[in-house]
Amino acid sequence: MIAIAIDGPSGAGKSTIAKILAKEMGFVYIDTGALYRAIGLVVLEHDADPKSADHAAALLTDLQVNIQFANGEQRVLLNGRDVTGLIRTPEVSMAASAVSAHPVVRAFLLELQRSIARANNCIMDGRDIGTVVLPDAQVKIFLTASAEERARRRYDELREKGMAVDYATVLRELEERDYNDSHRAAAPLKPADGALLADTTGQTLPEAVALLQEILRGALHDTIL
| pLDDT value of position 205 | 94
The CATH architecture of the domain made up of 3-219 is 3-Layer(aba) Sandwich (3.40)
Burial string for 37-55 (b: 16+ CB within 10 Å, else e) reads: bbbbbbbbeeebebeebeb
Q: How confident is the model at residue 25 (pLDDT cuts 50, 70, 90)?
A: very high
Q: How confident is the model at residue 71 (pLDDT cuts 50, 70, 90)?
A: confident
| pLDDT value of position 222 | 56
| pLDDT value of position 224 | 55
Enumerate the domain spans of the chain: 3-219
Q: How far is CA 30 from CA 17, 21, 79, 125, 204, in A?
A: 12, 12, 19, 7, 23
Is 96 a residue whose pLDDT tops 80?
A: yes
Q: What is the pLDDT of residues 169-219, one digit of tens each?
A: 999 999 998 999 899 888 899 999 999 999 999 999 999 999 999 999 999
SS3 content of the chain, % helix, strand, coil (to 5): 50, 15, 30
Q: How large a percentage of the chain has pLDDT more than 70?
A: 98
Q: Provide the 3-class DSSP secondary structure of residue 214.
A: helix
Q: Provide the 3-class DSSP secondary structure of residue 63.
A: coil
Going by C-alpha positions, the residue among 217, 49, 54 that lies closest to residue 139 is 217
Q: How confident is the model at residue 57 (pLDDT cuts 50, 70, 90)?
A: very high
pTM exceeds cut of 0.85: no
Q: How confident is the model at residue 223 (pLDDT cuts 50, 70, 90)?
A: low
| pLDDT value of position 87 | 94
- Of the two residues 75 and 224, the one the predictor is more confident about is 75
Average pLDDT, the chain: 92
Is 62 a residue whose pLDDT tops 80?
A: yes
Is 225 a residue whose pLDDT tops 60?
A: no
